Chain A
Amino acid sequence: MNRPGTGDRGPGTGNSGRGPETPAGGRKRVAVVIFPGSNCDRDALAAVEAAGGEAVPVWHQSADLAGCGAVVLPGGFSYGDYLRAGAMAAHSPVMAAVRRHAAGGGAVLGICNGFQMLLEIGLLPGAMLMNRTLRFICRDVHLRVERDDLPLLKHLRRGHVLRLPIAHKEGNWFAAPDVVRQVEAAGAVALRYCNERGEIGGEANPNGAINAVAGLVNREGNVLGMMPHPERRISALLGGSDGAALIRALVEAA
């Protein structure tokens, strides 16, 4: 895909407050789905607004995405993580609309619990196991950008290192060996856990995920799932703005 000619303002610059506009002059609409137990929905709504989009809360019982051009499945503990993280939410009525939206090429960003849902409904490959340490891990991690040629990743630079927080107990990505090979061959890994120098392996992998997978894209590149929380890092006041470029790209893709 082509990169827009506007150039990268880079992490740390935040956004100007003037977002991308639709041809009609209105702001681009991004749905944030709220499940019982979501707890990052307000952060996601605020991040979309800060990136210049119109954030639209959509209840999980909704049959559609309120005409939005992009959708966020936010983090949290939908249905208390009962059965498996994301398993119950995967069967919420709104997920049929999310599937249709994705099948039509619409942008989907699943964050943390939202990533787990995307795995459960099969839009992304693999499944999450409990972290290797068996602990809930809530801290900053470093992430190496592996793809920058897709609309949702266009403001990132391949090989650059981001710093974003994680907060999960089931983030240990697993897939059968043949699936892992397919994922790697397809370039489906968007983000990998790394150290501050961008090196993979050892203690830099917080949860034991195979090949340090922290984020995946589908083959078409319109569905991105990631365990780290970009919506929590959109301003220096919140400890950094490495997440702003992802949210901005999402709004632009709406």
Chain B
Amino acid sequence: MQVEVRVKLKEQVLDPQGEAIRRVLAGLGYAEVGQVRVGKLMLLDVGGDDPGAVRARVEAACREVLANPVIEEFEVRLP
């Protein structure tokens, strides 16, 4: 099944990339856009039929390598 992993900077971590995008948007007239946060979206094709087991494996992979817990948090979405 295709599993979606979303990794984003923690709320308390400054995101200079997001801030740069916000400024560009404001310059283009999108003044209503407040904070912008940039994250990563990873699509993993994972073998196995048991959603619980697949989720546990992918979350383990997130903790081990896909996200850095010092600055990032992750979210795993199953189909």
Does more than half of chain A's interface fall in helix, strand or loop, or is it mixed?
loop
- Of the four ranges (under 10, 10 to 19, 20 to 34, 35 or more), the interface on chain A belongs to 20 to 34
* Cβ distance B36 to chain A, nearest Cβ, rounded Å: 13
Q: Which stretch in A57-65, A102-110, A128-136, A241-249 binds the other chain?
A: A128-136
* Cβ distance B54 to chain A, nearest Cβ, rounded Å: 21
Q: Which stretch in B14-22, B25-33, B44-52 binds the other chain?
A: B14-22
Whether the Cβ atoms of A175 and B16 lie closer than 8 Å is no
CA–CA, A120 to B72, complex, Å?
Answer: 12
**Other-chain contact of A129, B20, B65, B71 (Cβ < 8 Å):** B71
Whether the Cβ atoms of A120 and B16 lie closer than 8 Å is no
**Within A173-206, which residues are at the interface with B (CB < 8 Å)?**
174-176
Whether the Cβ atoms of A130 and B16 lie closer than 8 Å is yes
Given the complex, which residues of A lie within 8 Å of B2, measured CB to CB? none
**Other-chain contact of A83, B12, B14, B66 (Cβ < 8 Å):** B66
Whether the Cβ atoms of B68 and A129 lie closer than 8 Å is no
Given the complex, which residues of A lie within 8 Å of B71, measured CB to CB? 127, 129, 174
Given the complex, which residues of B lie within 8 Å of A132, measured CB to CB? 16
Whether the Cβ atoms of B68 and A127 lie closer than 8 Å is yes
B53 at the interface (CB under 8 A from A): no
CA–CA, A132 to B17, complex, Å?
Answer: 9
**Other-chain contact of A174, B13, B17, B20, B66 (Cβ < 8 Å):** B13
With A129-B14, A174-B13 known as contacts, the answer to whether A120 contacts B20 (CB < 8 A) is: no
A84 at the interface (CB under 8 A from B): yes
Whether the Cβ atoms of B16 and A127 lie closer than 8 Å is no
CA–CA, A91 to B61, complex, Å?
Answer: 12
Residues of chain B having any CB pair with chain A under 8 Å: 9, 12-14, 16-17, 20, 65-66, 68, 70-71
Instruction: For the A-B complex with A87-B65, A127-B68, A127-B71 known, give 18 more contacts whose Cβ atoms are closer than 8 Å.
Output: A83-B66, A90-B65, A91-B65, A119-B70, A126-B70, A127-B70, A129-B9, A129-B14, A130-B16, A130-B17, A131-B16, A132-B16, A133-B16, A134-B16, A134-B20, A172-B16, A174-B13, A175-B70
Residues of chain A having any CB pair with chain B under 8 Å: 83-84, 87-88, 90-91, 119-120, 126-127, 129-134, 172, 174-176, 208
